[in-house]
Amino acid sequence: MGYKPPFSITDDMIQMLSEISEFIGHINVSNHLSTNPKLRRANRIKTIQASLAIENNSLSLDQVTAILNGKRILGAPQEIREVKNAYEAYEILLDFEPLSIEDMLKAHKILMLDLVKENGRFRSGGVGIFNGDKVVHVAPPANRVLELMQELIEWYKESKVHPLIKSCVFHYEFEFIHPFADGNGRMGRMWHTLLLSQWKEVFAWIPIETLVKERQAEYYEALGKADRDADSTVFIEFMLIIIRDVLSEMTTQEN
């Protein structure tokens, strides 16, 4: 066995798996997500707006909806381009093979087209993540990115851990490696959704990002603590809570 990401499976995680599975069962039976294109589109627009808002895109849900309905809005051209790119990528989300480097690069190219020079390829230089003036994370050197991504994918393929847990591990490790010059946050969250939708397809239309956006400070805090601990347990627990709470909200809205 090659690389094994450091994390522990806790009692809280086991409890969360059980609750999430129950909610998914309920949603599959009663939510009509699989048969209601209007509802799926509305959820996808929420996902895109929230994931881009985490990256400081200032467009509101109404503005994003207007753009995707082909209407003209007053907004920064770059922010409008981000919305169009993200929609295009999410529209073909289920066509991507999540454990294919080639598909990952294709998705990044769509997501970051006309936004960064290095779209559709792994970064060629070093990168640090800042909180204001403070460096909070220095990513591994560029010449190790391909090897680290291959090791992560290999681990994911071979691991017998539950997909809910290992998709969270993948999300954390992806952000740690920071394989792209830009777009790592939105790409990591989209890939997490893709991995989840391989387990249960309904996840392709569940707007997990809306709650990540609402709890953005905690999201970055969990990433930072996992970095400091050199162990992603805290991040896995945080993301499972997010997933459970999104599903819980969706279930409550139906009743």
Residues 168, 174: Cα–Cα separation, whole Å: 10
Per the annotation, binding residues for ATP are 182-189, 219-220
178 is catalytic: yes
Which member of 108, 171, 178, 192 is catalytic?
178
Per the annotation, binding residues are 182-189, 219-220
* Sequential DSSP letters for the chain: ----------HHHHHHHHHHHHHHHHHHHHS-TTT-HHHHHHHHHHHHHHHHHHTT----HHHHHHHHTT----S-HHHHHHHHHHHHHHHTGGGS-TT-HHHHHHHHHHHHTTT-TTTTS--SS--EEEETTEEEEEPPPGGGHHHHHHHHHHHHHH--S-HHHHHHHHHHHHHHH--SSS-HHHHHHHHHHHHHHHH-GGGGG--HHHHHHHTHHHHHHHHHHHHHHT--HHHHHHHHHHHHHHHHHHHHHH-
Active site residues: 178
